[in-house]
Amino acid sequence: MAKAKNEPDVARYADMFSAMGTEPRLRIMRLLLSAHPHGMIAGEVGAELDIPASTLSHHLDKLKNEDLVNVRRESTFLWYSANTETLQELLGFLYAECCTRNKAIEPQAIVQLCK
């Protein structure tokens, strides 16, 4: 079934939510957002969240594959940061349905949650 011309890529967003859909990955995303924009070295993330390096690597790869985190190399360190552009797009997808078309949630309620 072909999607409508202006219909968002729901499958892509579902994959993003799935990538964040485990407790460790959601904790990683929150931590990286708190460290925005500079980000954190992978080892700092693991130490802060008490996640072993091999497990952390798996979680970070999953998030990176869905474009939810950015990674940059500085010398021998890998720095991870939340990809706020992708997160903004994902939130916009939800916002478009809940707060614009049928006003299931008033936009002011969303803004108040963020303060």
Tokens 């996640």 correspond to what residue? Answer: 51
More confident residue, 94 or 53: 53
Per-domain residue ranges for the chain?
Answer: 10-84
Give the integer Cα–Cα distance in Å for 82 and 71. 9
Range 62-78 average pLDDT: 95
**Which helix (H) or strand (E) is 70 found in, with range?**
strand 69-74
pLDDT tens-digit series, residues 73-110:
999 999 999 999 999 999 888 877 666 666 666 666 65
- For residue 3, what pLDDT is reported? 54
**Residue 110, phi then psi, degrees to nearest 5:** -65, -45
Write phi, then psi, for 20 (nearest 5 degrees): -90, 0
Instruction: State pTM to two decimals.
Output: 0.81
Residue recorded with tokens 């939340």: 82
Q: Which CATH class is domain 10-84?
A: mainly alpha
Helices (H) and strands (E) in the chain, counts: 6, 3
